[in-house]
Structure 1
Amino acid sequence: MDRPDATLERMRSFVRVAERGSLSAVARAFGIGQSSVTRHLRELEQAVGVPLLSRTTRRVTLTAEGRGYYAHCLQILRLVEQAADEARAARGAPAGAIRISCTGALGVLHLGRLIFAFQDRYPEICVELGLTDERIDLVREGVDVAIRLGPLSDSSLKVRALGQSRRALVAAPSYLARRGRPASPQDLRGHEAIRMTNIASSDLLVLEGRDGARHEVPFTGRLRLDHGLAAREALLAGRGVAPAHCWLVDDLLADGRLEVVLPDYALPPVPLSMLILPERAAIARVRLLIDDLAEAIGRLPGIERARPAG
């Protein structure tokens, strides 16, 4: 019996399974049955003549031969996609799919409409936007681009600095009328703090005065949350004081539903970055989106745009 061919479809299934470690996840992503993914892998292993994956009840991992073959498949699939991009570019119509990940609150309040505008300009580009405050693995999740707040750990991914996200200490007028308006950082002791569970050392607030003096104040309260939109609602409900990104509350400050607390003291800004899967960075539609979002995000409320290198 003749061996099956190592087709692009089978390579794509293999690459996705290698990255995600799950046949069922890949089947959902491709919109096909898990049996089809299993068949693709079996036929590909028959085509190359060696086992590429090691399967257990919990996980699928690459064999030694599979690791080398995976690297070659990535190169082949990238070249195929770039060739298709060049062909589409010849008729001036970028097309294809892009997967983006972004922190939840920023995605809901701002990134969504930026993507809508992008798709209006490029109607043949499909965008899949995933919203999570967890630090996902871009390779494993098959994500092309991620928007991240906060410092980054060492990574093999390409990083594009978008700027700094300014923050302010805010509260609702009803809360301040009830509990009093702090006049100095030390006055925050005893106030109800709305804290984020996914931010390290959120029990200590760092403020800098106009004279450059640094103030560290214990910051405690009965409410801890893991989502920026939940913190926004808690602030509106008068549940306490919280440091908030300006893009999260600028509309609420503008119409008086929230007030800045201790306006003479500044909170340290937070880095805002774009992480890019290196093998996807050269694809035309991905480059278009990267440049478009970098420009648009730099105009959001409270974002201090990164200065060009050099």
Structure 2
Amino acid sequence: MHLKAHRFFAMVATTGSFSATARHFQVPASSVSRFIAALEREVGQQLLYRNTRAVTLTDAGERYYQQIREVLDLLDAADEQIAGKGGDIRGLVRLNVPVALGRLHIAPLLDGLQQRYPELTVELTLTDAFIDPVSEGVDITFRVGQPADSGLIGRKICDQRYVLAASADYLQAHDQPAAPHDLLQHAALVYKGAGGPQRWYFRSPSDQTAVVIEASGPLRSNNAEVLLEAARVGRGVVLFPSWLFRATDFASGGLVRLLPEWAAAVEATPSQIHVLSPENRLRSPKVRAVADYLREAIGTPPYWDAVV
């Protein structure tokens, strides 16, 4: 079967769209449909469900896609290595990023990335679940939290810097805390994930023993942005990494940083942000180029630390 049919099929599997695949390869949509129909006849299986709203993989199509994807990736890597020029960075790169980090920071960086590499196609998936990049076919994944022995290869972007904050309006009605234990008398807006409500950990420069606060208050959520918005309108105190805050939050005086002399966190040990890839994907020049660009754009220390 013609290699082009496999490439068309893989792109339809990725995008869920014949028209998007046709635009990507700059061919008529009828050509994409014809090649994939021929591929289905060749393998003797229906690979795609087609309806007016979406195109999805059948069970056989899912298995077939998993089997051919690595072969196509290896062919793409070989093509890139033969080209051997930075200006020839092209093709599809798949990114997986936690929802808030991706929306607030990674998505805005993609414009500059695609200006640098105009022949590059980026597929950005936002999810807070830890996926297996190998089985999901992801080239680059961002991990927030404690590093794990995942078999992935990459670099630390930064240590997470946590900020305790409340609105100026809230502080007009409540005394500012002078020490972590004072937070027990305040309305805490607490993130609650799969592990339950977060604890807040504080360390002073003179004593690295952690002070642990069982924060509580009028609102819990598994969505950090909901809690941060509640803090902005004066409902309580939040503790979040610096990358979640807007550049205007503190510059405008809307939010006030609390206990700045204390190092704060929501885990007993420091957490980081890493950018990681499966080992075989790092052989691809386009994957290395994207990872390098994102690390450079974020900077060291990360640009978002300047918010506070």
Q: 1:190, CA displacement in angstroms?
A: 3.2
Q: What's the counterpart of residue 292 of structure 1?
A: 293
Q: What's the counterpart of residue 118 of structure 2?
A: 123
Decide whether aligned partners of structure 1 residues 60 and 154 sit closer, same or farther in structure 2, where only a CA change above 3 A counts: farther
Task: Give 3-state SS (helix, strand or coil) of 1:278's partner.
Answer: coil
Gaps of 5+ in 1: 18-22, 305-310
Q: What's the counterpart of residue 145 of structure 2?
A: 150
Q: What's the counterpart of residue 20 of structure 1?
A: none
1:84 matches 2:85: no
Q: 1:239, CA displacement in angstroms?
A: 1.5
Q: Quick one: distance in 2 between partners of 1:39 and 1:168?
A: 55
Decide whether aligned partners of structure 1 residues 165 and 30 sit closer, same or farther in structure 2, where only a CA change above 3 A counts: farther
Which of the numbers 251, 256, 269 marks the counterpart of 2:253? 256
Check whether the contact 2:163–2:240 (CA below 8 A) recurs between aligned residues. yes
Which of the numbers 167, 170, 180 marks the counterpart of 1:172? 167
1:234 matches 2:235: no
Q: What's the counterpart of residue 307 of structure 1?
A: none
**Could you state the TM-score of these two structures normalised by the residue count of structure 1?**
0.74
Task: Give 3-state SS (helix, strand or coil) of 1:163's partner.
Answer: strand
Which of the numbers 90, 94, 113 marks the counterpart of 2:89? 94
1:283 matches 2:284: yes
- Alignment deviations for residues 262-286 of structure 1 (CA, whole Å, 9 cap, x no partner): 2221113421011213332211111
Q: Quick one: distance in 2 between partners of 1:39 and 1:90?
A: 36
Task: Give 3-state SS (helix, strand or coil) of 1:281's partner.
Answer: helix
Query: What letter matches 2:272 in structure 1?
Result: P
Q: 1:141, CA displacement in angstroms?
A: 3.8
Residues 260-275 of structure 1 mapped to structure 2, 5 A cutoff: 260-268=257-265, 269-275=270-276
- Alignment deviations for residues 47-92 of structure 1 (CA, whole Å, 9 cap, x no partner): xxxx9x9xxxx99489xxx89x966x45532331023223544593
Q: Quick one: distance in 2 between partners of 1:26 and 1:130?
A: 12
Check whether the contact 2:161–2:242 (CA below 8 A) recurs between aligned residues. yes
What number of residue pairs does the alignment pair up?
282
Q: What's the counterpart of residue 189 of structure 2?
A: 194
- Give the % identical residues: 29
1:206 matches 2:201: yes
Q: 1:43, CA displacement in angstroms?
A: 4.5
Query: What letter matches 1:161 in structure 2?
Result: K
Decide whether aligned partners of structure 1 residues 178 and 90 sit closer, same or farther in structure 2, where only a CA change above 3 A counts: closer
Check whether the contact 1:104–1:227 (CA below 8 A) recurs between aligned residues. no
Check whether the contact 1:250–1:301 (CA below 8 A) recurs between aligned residues. no
Q: Quick one: distance in 1 between partners of 2:285 and 2:93?
A: 11
**Could you state the TM-score of these two structures normalised by the residue count of structure 2?**
0.75
Decide whether aligned partners of structure 1 residues 236 and 303 sit closer, same or farther in structure 2, where only a CA change above 3 A counts: closer
Check whether the contact 1:6–1:44 (CA below 8 A) recurs between aligned residues. no
Q: Quick one: distance in 1 between partners of 2:152 and 2:8?
A: 21
- Alignment deviations for residues 77-116 of structure 1 (CA, whole Å, 9 cap, x no partner): 2331023223544593321121212222222322223221
Q: Quick one: distance in 1 between partners of 2:152 and 2:34?
A: 31
Gaps of 5+ in 2: 22-28, 48-56
